[in-house]
Amino acid sequence: MSKIYSVIRSSDAARPATATLVENTDCPLGTALVNPNKSTKQYEPQDLVALAQTVQKADEFVRANATNKLTQIAKQMQFLQEQARLALEEAKRDAELHHAACNLVKMPGTTYHLYERSSGQRYMSILSPQEWGLSMPHEHVGSYRLEYDQSWTPVEDIVKRSEEFGLVNKLLNSQLALTDGL
């Protein structure tokens, strides 16, 4: 029968650390393999304390590792929540821009300018505020480029988005070059 010894940890008196010792038997499976008098070691009480301390330290490391991993997952979840929030905001903006009044066929790659009348109606125009000059009839709300995926890019983000598309295209072209040789 195996013996289980409990040693009270100084840091956690309510939960003792346990050290399970290997079962001691003279004849495992009915066969005497060695002389039990020569193979049985007498342990000092300090040995048991050291064993319990080793188990306690391992418990602390396991907890620390789990905490680190869960902290990393929590950070990733926060990042993904922020990405989801941004995606929803962009989708709302894109829908509003697609539903703005417009008397022309919108073409991808073209920049459009959003204006708002005093009545609250928003409409799209191909004339920029600079082209209107001093005779601009309504308040300019913003300027956007219609992308080929039907999303809208604010003019201040066009350079950044073009760089992102360039990087993606570069990656795709290098991947295609790798697969063409197969």
For the full predicted model, state whether its pTM sits above 0.75. no
Q: Which two tokens mark 172?
A: 């795709």
3-state secondary structure (DSSP) of residue 136: coil
CB-based contact 129:136 (threshold 8 Å) = yes
| pLDDT for 37 | 64
| pLDDT for 9 | 45
| pLDDT for 33 | 66
d(CA 134, CA 132): 6
Per-residue pLDDT of the chain (182 residues; tens, 9 = 90+): 444 444 444 455 455 566 666 666 666 676 766 666 666 666 677 777 888 888 899 999 999 999 999 999 999 999 999 999 999 999 999 999 999 999 999 999 999 999 999 999 999 999 999 999 999 999 999 999 999 999 999 999 999 988 888 888 888 888 777 777 66
* Location of structure tokens 């809208």: 152
Where in the chain does DSSP place strands (E)?
Answer: 4-7, 17-20, 111-116, 122-125, 139-146, 152-154
Q: How far is CA 18 from CA 3, 28, 42, 46, in A?
A: 10, 25, 19, 14
